[in-house]
Amino acid sequence: AQKITQTQPGMFVQEKEAVTLDCTYDTSDPSYGLFWYKQPSSGEMIFLIYQGSYDQQNATEGRYSLNFQKARKSANLVISASQLGDSAMYFCAMASNTGNQFYFGTGTSLTVIP
Amino acid sequence: NAGVTQTPKFQVLKTGQSMTLQCAQDMNHEYMSWYRQDPGMGLRLIHYSVGAGITDQGEVPNGYNVSRSTTEDFPLRLLSAAPSQTSVYFCASRRGVDNEQFFGPGTRLTVL
């Protein structure tokens, strides 16, 4: 069964604007972690941000923030003040604290337009 | 710290050949995993390990074997390569369940 769903195959955003990348997840575990990774065209996987299921506040890392809505099982990534270098694939992932596995979504391709 | 290293970066095999993809990490991480990435399908877990001597299957384990004799190394063996195994393979490691994964640079494998 699919654990992570990213419904936006491709997104466009104007430079300096904010953009939200959607992610929903499915788990029955009481404790889990949510992650976002960036994959530029060069192919490497770059960790962006982490949110624990028991964290009371939304995680932030520089221009990245995670809009965590536990009841809706969503963990959307918000990128503020988009830059040309933000053009990449973005993957949402979930780690189950009981299953030892890491599940990835199918990704969203973001293009920043100058 | 080299992080997670993978060799080779590129490989071309003929159907039926076997080979081993190497993965090593120098961060003393207990958790290590192998993924394959195919267009439109994200990353799918092949095998993973939670410590030396302990391995388990992921989502797509068929055709692959792993072993974990040391904390540092986690090789992935293709027993008899098939064209369906053409993919980009990533090795990753993490300290624990609440921690992010660190990825190697990937191996691009083509099976003819």
**Nearest partner of A104 among B101, B43, B106, judged by Cα:** B43
Closest approach of chain B CAs to the CA of A38, in angstroms?
11
CA distances from B58 to A43, B10, B91, B99 (A): 22, 24, 13, 19
- Hey, of A37, A41, A45, A49, which one would you mutate to test binding to chain B, going by the most B CBs within 10 A of its CB? A45
- The tens-digit pLDDT sequence of chain A (114 residues) is 558 999 999 999 999 999 999 999 998 888 889 999 999 999 999 999 999 999 889 999 999 999 999 999 999 999 999 999 999 999 999 987 765 778 899 999 999 999
- Mean pLDDT of all residues in B60-88: 96
> Which residues of chain A neighbour B100 with C-beta distances below 8 Å?
35, 47, 50
Place of tokens 């192998």: B34
Phi-psi region of B21 (alpha: psi -120 to 50; beta: other; left: phi over 0): beta
For residue A81, what is the DSSP state? S
Residues 6+ apart with CB under 8 A from A42: none
Residue type present at position A92 = C
